[in-house]
Amino acid sequence: MSFKRFRVTLTALLGVTLLQAVNADDKEALYQAKPVTAKNSFTGGIEGPACDTQGNVFAVNFAKQGTIGKVTPKGEASLFIELPEGSVGNGIRFDQSGNMYIADYPQHNVLRVDAKTGKLSVFAHNDKMNQPNDLAIDAKGNLYASDPNWGESTGQLWRISNKGKVQLLADDMGTTNGIEVSPDGKHLYVNESVQRNVWSFDIAKDGTLSNKKLLRQFPDFGFDGMRCDVDGNLYITRHGKGTVVIMTPKGKILEEIDVLGSKPSNICFGGPDGKTCYVTEMEYGRLVSFRTARPGVSWKLNKQ
């Protein structure tokens, strides 16, 4: 072999090796969690979270129960709002107009914070709710709420229209928790914490559900919050395991990320490109983050 051919071959081999190394480094950088806020800046009831279009992250129970905290892109946390006496928030969502919706589980409410005035009001209420827990939102601003009964290990699903009309969709579920709408708006994903199931439903034009399918059952640990990226992959917090698992809509596991605490409660997408995942973690009462390859579907909708 001539020196020239040897040099070309060696360069090609090195190029492959370097490319593999760069890809490995990128993968490591993408899925490496880091703290965003100090330990115990939030209570052990930290949940939510949701990002606005300015890159701020909002999570419930900042410093004490019954509050909403605001965390800037620089990680500076402060009180955003106090909820009415007796109300405690759980899941948070924004619509495309910037209005915030909060699941208020003790009072069986979904609360609304007006984007322009900051006024807090009851957007929806139903006494038949166990405790509205996590929220999903579609492109038209209709909400879906999980509604577990922890004592009975059962749960319900609700739809709250963009006008505040409440509709029971399912009352024969396990402990419904994480909930999300697919990028095309045609499917609703729901997980059950105690039963460790992840389900898919078809969404009809009127918002009703059909064709319930089991995507995957896990052998151990519980679930909590859940979000989709723009490709439809599900990001599910594994409560008790201390991870976020990334799973395709077909149920194939792609990645599992250590999130620096055993009790991740929920997750959202944010950052300037929508590729930063923020995770609320209950063991240390803080927000952590990691980078991922694709932006979140809600982040993309709210940016449009």
* 176-208 tens-digit pLDDT: 999 999 999 999 999 999 999 999 999 999 999
Selected catalytic residue, list 224, 229, 258, 273: 224
The phi and psi torsions of 125 (rounded to 5 degrees) equal -150, 145
End-to-end Cα separation, the chain, in angstroms: 58
What whole-number distance in Å separates Cα of residue 221 and Cα of residue 196? 7
Which residue would you say has higher pLDDT here, 268 or 4? Answer: 268
Mean of the per-residue pLDDT values for the chain?
91
Question: Token pair of 86, please?
Answer: 């007796």
The three-state secondary structure class of 263 is: coil
Q: Which is it for the CA torsion 119, 124, 127, 133, positive or negative?
A: negative
Q: What is the mean pLDDT of residues 266-277?
A: 96
The answer to whether the Cα torsion of 139, 146, 237, 221 is positive or negative is negative
- In the chain, the amino acid numbered 18 is L
Radius of gyration of the chain (CA): 20
Query: Comparing C-alpha atoms, which of 288, 218, 266 is closest to residue 103?
Result: 266
User: How many alpha carbons lie under 13 Å from residue 86 in its C-beta half-sphere?
Assistant: 4
Judge whether residue 63 has pLDDT over 50.
yes
Q: Contact 225/249 with Cβ under 8 angstroms?
A: no
Tokens 């909400």 sit at which residue? Answer: 143
15: confidence class by pLDDT, cuts 50, 70, 90: very low
Whether residue 11 is predicted with pLDDT greater than 50 in this model: the reply is no
pLDDT tens per residue, range 129-173: 999 999 999 999 999 999 999 999 999 999 999 999 999 999 999
> 224 an active-site residue?
yes
175 contacts 211 by C-beta, under 8 angstroms: no
125: which 2 tokens?
Answer: 């209420």
State the pLDDT at residue 282.
98
Query: Cα-Cα-Cα-Cα dihedral of 141, 121, 60, 148, to 10°?
Result: -70
Beta bridge partner(s), residue 50:
58
Residue 34 Cα distances to 259, 263, 277, angstroms = 8, 15, 11
Given pLDDT bands bounded at 50, 70 and 90, which one contains residue 108?
very high
pTM for this prediction = 0.90
Please tell me the predicted confidence (pLDDT) of residue 238.
98
pLDDT at 27: 52
